[in-house]
Structure 1
Amino acid sequence: MPVSVLTGAGISTDSGIPDFRGPQGVWTKNPQAEATAMIDRYLADPEVRRDSWRARLEHPVWKAAPNAAHLALVDLERAGLLRALITQNIDELHQRAGSSPEKVIELHGTVHRVECLSCDLITPMPEVLARVEAGEADPPCPRCGGIQKSNTISFGQNLKPEVLEAAVRAARSCEVFVAVGTSLTVHPAAGLCGQALDSGARLVIVNAEPTPYDRFADQVVGEPIGRALPALVQELIDAAR
């Protein structure tokens, strides 16, 4: 019974990383913060870039640890049931929990690396944050002097085609598709539910708030993810025995 899983920001809130659109979300509390996630604003406005680097320096991801929900997905993989773990998150907590990197499909990239938007140089995030701490408010690329940002997908940027193709293959080739901690309103990630349904998979949604796909799901779980996902994974493992 191959299972593909899509995770969103809600799976990491128990690790101390706030989501974006929830009642206590980053953008709910501070709508102006959403500007830092827009590529056109980031490129055009040095102040937006300076705000972004300050936010990266203070990001809770640097102190976060995997929680019970991340660990449950490791159990799913060790049981031989995990087809792929597709994530909208940029925190790498799945890998830190023990999920195999080759199983994890990072739709939106990772905050642990920095990319130059001119020459594509990739640099470890700690190296660039050290420059920010030393006084560079908007550190340019050390190779070409271009604008740098975290190696993540911003609004206005397309997902990498090979990453999206891998996610679509995973959605189309599973028997159960589990969406965890995601509002299922951001495309193309949300559309993976439709890909799975069209291929005959069962859809299970674990999320605190209603989603547009709830009416198509075989099961909708609104309980806290840290408790609900381990229980669901155990159900899947027991059903496969």
Structure 2
Amino acid sequence: QERLAGARRVAVLTGAGISKPSGIPTFRDAAGLWKDFDLEEYATPGAYARNPQKVWEWYAWRYQNVMQAQPNRAHALLAALEKRVGEGFLLVTQNVDGLHRRAGSSQLVELHGNLARGRCEGCGQRFSLPDPAEFVPPPYCPGCGGRGRPDVVWFGEMLPLGAFEQAEQAFVQAEVALVIGTSAEVEPAASLGRLARLSGAYLIEINPDPTPLSSWADCILRMGAVEGMEALMAGLN
């Protein structure tokens, strides 16, 4: 708490674990998102090329689910931490559910995209999807009229241009780095915590389970995202 209270440069990385209390399943646990779905059929460029309608219907279902979910206390506390720290704060998320922005976070990098957007296959324009109740996939670009694909990063694809570079810079410059609810196994995001620690940051991990990052951390809170953020923020008011 003392380290965080005085820090003017804070970088945060979140994974699926922060959205689990909002009812969004993680990828790796027993009830995870991929338990009943083959990622090769839904989350690769090849899958989309073979059957774009099948892929879109699955993403439309996910989009509807995340829009029914609400940000939880951990999302809200990170938005409050951003206001406290100011310009030296950056939140980097691997999640595509949009809950951080809905909770009030604005200094935000969504490494893997956002389920609530489409991206034109022709001109590349990103655009918001209609309300889930009215959305019939596929969407079409408001600019050129071309078909849109989900604006998410599929397995085997590059991250959005400049996204990781912005994240990397924030973690290199951070006084405190906070990693919450991520397995620390998906690269390149998994490297951010280690990079911060090697650059001199005080590294905090919030995760109920050990991860490959745990041996690097200065402080480990073995609890869920909500409980961990509440414990971390309790003395900062």
Q: Return the TM-score normalized by structure 2.
A: 0.86
Backbone CA RMSD of aligned residues = 2.4
Identity of aligned residues (%): 38
Change over 3 Å in CA distance of 1:129–1:151 after alignment to 2: farther
Counterpart pick for 1:3 among 5, 10, 13: 10
**Is residue 2:216 matched to residue 1:213?**
no
**Runs of at least 4 residues of structure 1 off by over 6 A?**
none
Partners of 1:40 and 1:156 within 8 A in 2: no
Q: Which runs of 5+ in 2 are unaligned?
A: 1-6
Q: Which has the higher helix share?
A: 1
Q: How does 1:18-33 map to 2 (within 5 A)?
A: 18-27=25-34, 29-33=35-39
The separation in 2 between residues aligned to 1:109 and 1:47, in whole angstroms, is: 20
Structure-to-structure mapping, 1:73-222, within 5 angstroms: 73-80=78-85, 83-99=89-105, 101=106, 103-126=107-130, 130-132=134-136, 138-139=138-139, 141=141, 146-222=146-222
Contact 1:36 1:51 in 2 (8 A): no
For 1:167 and 1:55, the matched residues in 2 are separated by 29
- Mapped to 2, the partners of 1:54 and 1:110 lie a distance apart of 12
* 29-38 or 155-164, which deviates more: 29-38
Match of 2:48 in 1: 42
Give me the whole-angstrom Cα distance separating, in 2, the residues matched to 1:52 and 1:64.
Answer: 17
Contact 2:71 2:102 in 1 (8 A): yes
Whether the aligned pair in 2 keeps the contact of 1:128 and 1:139 (CA below 8 Å) is no
DSSP-derived class of the 1:161 partner? coil
Shift, 1:155, TM fit: 1.0
Q: Secondary structure at the match of 2:114?
A: strand
Structure 1, unaligned runs of 5 or more: none
**Number of aligned residue pairs:** 229
